[in-house]
Amino acid sequence: TGAIEIDDVAKVYDPDGDHVVAVEDMNLDIEANEFITILGPSGCGKSTVMECVAGYLEPTEGEVRVDGTRVNGPDPSRGVVFQANRLFPWLTIAENVRFGPRMRSEVDNERVNGLIKQMGLDGFEDSYPHELSGGMQQRAELARLFANDPDIMLMDEPFSGLDAMTKELMQEALLEVWENESRTVIFITHDVEEAIFLADRVVVMSARPGRAKDVLDVDLERP
Shortest-Cβ-distance residue relative to ligand ADP: 135
* Nearest CA among 3, 76, 77, 7 for reference residue 33: 3
> What minimum distance in Å lies between the beta carbon of 141 and ligand ADP?
12
In the sheet with 61-66, reading across from the earlier edge strand, the strands are 20-30, 4-13, 61-66, 69-70
> What minimum distance in Å lies between the beta carbon of 5 and ligand ADP?
19
Q: Are 157 and 171 in contact (CB under 8 A)?
A: no
- Compute CA distances 26 → 8, 62, 209, whole Å: 5, 9, 13
- Strand 201-205 to 35-39 pairing: parallel
Burial zone of 90 (CB within 10 Å; 0-12 exposed, 13-18 middle, 19+ buried): exposed
| Closer Cβ to ligand ADP, 85 or 113, answer by number | 85
Where along the sequence are the contacts to ligand ADP (CB under 6 A)? 13-14, 20, 22, 40, 42-48, 131-133, 135-136, 162-163, 166
| Closer Cβ to ligand ADP, 110 or 163, answer by number | 163
> What minimum distance in Å lies between the beta carbon of 40 and ligand ADP?
6
Locate the DSSP E strands across the chain. 4-13, 20-30, 35-39, 61-66, 69-70, 78-81, 152-156, 184-189, 201-205, 214-219
| Closer Cβ to ligand ADP, 35 or 159, answer by number | 159
| Closer Cβ to ligand ADP, 37 or 151, answer by number | 37
| Closer Cβ to ligand ADP, 4 or 22, answer by number | 22
| Closer Cβ to ligand ADP, 45 or 100, answer by number | 45
> What minimum distance in Å lies between the beta carbon of 105 and ligand ADP?
32
> What minimum distance in Å lies between the beta carbon of 137 and ligand ADP?
8
Helix (H, G, I), strand (E, B) or coil at 148: helix
* Nearest CA among 181, 192, 182 for reference residue 218: 192
> What minimum distance in Å lies between the beta carbon of 203 and ligand ADP?
12
